[in-house]
Amino acid sequence: MISTTLTLPCGAKLNNRLVKSAMTERISNNRFEPTKGHEQLYKDWSETGAGLLITGNVVIDRKHLESAGNVCFDDEKMLSKLKSWAKAGKKQGNHIWVQISHSGRQTNRFGTNKPLAPSEVQLKKLGLFGKPRAMTEEDILDVIQRFVKAAKLAKEAGFTGVQIHSAHGYLLSQFLSPNTNVRPDRWGGSIENRSRLLLTIIREVRKVVGTDFPISVKLNSADFQRGGFTEEESLEVVKMLDQEKIDLLEISGGTYEKLAFFILNEEDSELKESTKQREAYFIDFAKKIRAVSKLPLMITGGFRSYDFCNEVLANGEVDLIGMARPFITNREDISKFLNGELSHLKNLVLRTGLKQFEDAAEGGFYARQIIRFSKGKGLKTNMSPLWCSLFLILYEFRKAMAKKLA
């Protein structure tokens, strides 16, 4: 099943069911443009044979970065560089989609001390995030147009689709959560109101990209926080998305405060009662989605064995298999996995032994590998976990300073 084609509702056809999910690249130049490193990365990922590659966070506002190394799709002057990136990324006839995003309150202090957010609810994590300013109606309308412009540029550049990021605690996810959205107006309160921004963006993007251009949404199954976005609310949003006729729904979970992939990847997690549970973090929730929606569905997180991927595809539990970290740790093996020549991909777990640094260590390790790949270098596994945990803060600081001085 994993090697079979899939035709999306808009008519676009994927060569197979394996997807490289989004991972932040952090390698833009000082003008927020893509570099030769992006071309190197995506050319190599295209050669794995995966049917679809989804880029890391492409932001729509230079003041609201997920990383100081983000590309920002906001200027037609960078079209030539965008075209080169898109061309390299679809070298083997695969699709390459742009994940477009706004970080909201998850914009760190290296970007701004006063990020925009639905409400003035601060993210308190290592003192890295400032207290946000609640968005005005004008701010919200501006964000809508920025998403639209980014999608338009993506299509003009030759990318073959877009993914609207409404998960992991970024701005659209913040609007969905009652923890971070306490607005009294039409953008807050009921789940219908909290979904309004996401649905409006989808409709406006569809107007500019047309009916035959794939639009995907990345959505949390839950925030894994008390009082946050729940599975029940997520299912209500899925029903609304079903009416919008998007082309793919990717399910994930968590925010900066509760990193789902880290929690669920723990070797001693109580959630892991069997090999299958260990593989697919959100498979149970996918079954609930199938009961309320006919949207093409993708899960990212935990898939490692060839047989299990084929089993859930054959059972109709999902339509696409999303993987992220294996495209780093097992990049050279992906083509063999797709062909059934390799039965299992290794799951690398990096630990410092200090709980407060564990997620930073894992994030730093993978960030360093992507930067290495962008320079044409290979995987390096013998990295100090403690140094990896410090890497992101130091790297972000240097990258932010370089852009301010440019």
Full pLDDT tens readout for the chain, 406 residues: 999 999 999 999 999 999 999 999 999 999 999 999 999 999 999 999 999 999 999 999 999 999 999 999 999 999 999 999 999 999 999 999 999 999 999 998 888 999 999 999 999 876 789 999 999 999 999 999 999 999 999 999 999 999 999 999 999 999 999 999 999 999 999 999 999 999 999 999 999 999 999 999 999 988 777 778 899 999 999 999 999 989 999 998 766 655 554 444 544 444 444 434 446 678 889 999 999 999 999 998 889 999 999 999 999 999 999 999 999 999 999 999 999 999 999 877 766 666 666 778 888 999 999 999 999 999 999 998 888 888 988 998 899 898 888 7
Of 21, 3, 94, nearest in space to 250 by CA: 21
What does the DSSP assignment read for 354-405?
Answer: -GGGHHHHHHHHHHHHHHHHHTT--------HHHHHHHHHHHHHHHHHHHHH
| 364 within 8 A of 388, measured Cβ to Cβ | yes
| 228 within 8 A of 222, measured Cβ to Cβ | yes
Three-state DSSP at 246 gives coil
What's the rounded Cα separation, in Å, for the pair 163 and 161?
7
Q: For residue 257, what pLDDT is reported?
A: 54
Q: For residue 356, what pLDDT is reported?
A: 63
List all residues 6 or more positions away from 66 whose beta carbon is below 8 Å from its beta carbon: 24, 57, 59, 101, 103, 106, 107, 170
Supply 169's token pair: 């605690």
**Which domains are assigned to the chain?**
6-405 (3.20.20.70)
Q: For residue 274, what pLDDT is reported?
A: 45
Three-state DSSP at 14 gives strand
Q: For residue 389, what pLDDT is reported?
A: 86
Neighbours of 22 (CB within 10 A): 26
